[in-house]
Amino acid sequence: MKDLRPTQVNRTLDEWHALACTFLSSDLKCSPVASSPTRASDSVRVATWLPSGPPDQGGTCPGCTPYCHRNDDGKLTCYARRLELGRPSLERKTATRLDTWNALGLGEKITLAAAIIDAAYRSQVEPGPLSTHAGHPVDRPILRIGAGGDLATRQDGEAWAAALHWAGIYRPTLRAWLYSRSYGLDPGDADPLGPIADGIRHGSITNTAAYLSCDPEMIERTRRALRGRYAHLPVAVLADDHAQ
């Protein structure tokens, strides 16, 4: 990696890379590598995942609503939380990641976020001889931010915004995206999604699609967001059916 200057240089680049790899999860829904003609491969980790749920319950979703975590006929709406509860090892792993992340200052978070981007990028475009896609590098590498969890704090948004700006310069073929409810909070100027949304609007972040996640309990919050700071972002709606 180039031009990464953390506030505290307490790790080598190799150590940052190793730490970054522990923050990546596979996501079969968006994997760019196939393990067979009909199945995506889980061998290439292209997503971040932190604990789901409200912060007062150990999660990273300050903008979640009761709809997200309702229990409908014994099934939670939030698929990420369902997976965490059904896989204790995943729940422990995401909690460890969050403890590590929260122990860092802003400069170190920027460095780690950039290292996560770089690790995901390299796993796709520089496959090793034992990789599922050995000899077939991915032309359009991707990163999904928040397959589970969300941006918990304004500082988290600042860190990812800076790292995504770096990636636009040094990893220009990579595309990132995220669905977030960390907008329209009180006070709105401290929204975790704000720095990324501002970067996209001002052109300093050119490689990222940020979707305003919405459900029936937050329609008005999303409408207000679209009348102001987030007018340029698309909306992804969680609903029970198409008519809703």
| Burial zone of 203 (CB within 10 Å; 0-12 exposed, 13-18 middle, 19+ buried) | exposed
Residues near 101 by beta carbon (within 8 Å), at least 6 away in sequence: 23, 50, 109, 112, 156
The tokens 């953390």 sit on which residue? 6
- pLDDT attached to residue 36: 66
pTM (2 decimals)?
A: 0.91
Among the residues of the chain, which ranges form H helices? Answer: 13-21, 79-86, 88-102, 106-125, 154-170, 194-202, 219-226
| pLDDT(8) > 70 | no
Is residue 179 within 8 A of residue 202, CB to CB? The reply is no
SS3 of residue 155 by DSSP: helix
- pLDDT attached to residue 129: 83
Give the pair of three-digit tokens for residue 178.
Answer: 């995220």
Averaged pLDDT score across all residues of the chain: 91
| Burial zone of 92 (CB within 10 Å; 0-12 exposed, 13-18 middle, 19+ buried) | exposed
Residues near 76 by beta carbon (within 8 Å), at least 6 away in sequence: 69, 70, 82, 85
SS3 of residue 72 by DSSP: strand
At 241, the pLDDT band (50, 70, 90 cuts) reads confident
| pLDDT(1) > 60 | no
Distance of CA 97 to the CA centre of its chain: 13
> Of all residues in the chain, what percent carry a pLDDT higher than 70?
92
Give the pair of three-digit tokens for residue 76.
Answer: 């939670």
The tokens 């995220």 sit on which residue? 178
Cα–Cα distance between 189 and 154 in angstroms, integer? 9
> Which amino acid is residue 56, in one-letter code?
D
pLDDT tens for each residue of 163-202: 999 999 999 999 999 999 999 999 889 999 999 999 999 9
DSSP state for residue 187 in the 8-state scheme:
S
Is residue 175 within 8 A of residue 207, CB to CB? The reply is yes
Handedness of CA 235, 236, 242, 244 (dihedral sign): negative
pLDDT tens for each residue of 100-143: 999 999 999 999 999 999 999 999 999 888 788 888 888 999 99
Is residue 180 within 8 A of residue 193, CB to CB? The reply is yes
At 7, the pLDDT band (50, 70, 90 cuts) reads very low
Residues near 202 by beta carbon (within 8 Å), at least 6 away in sequence: none
| pLDDT(35) > 80 | no
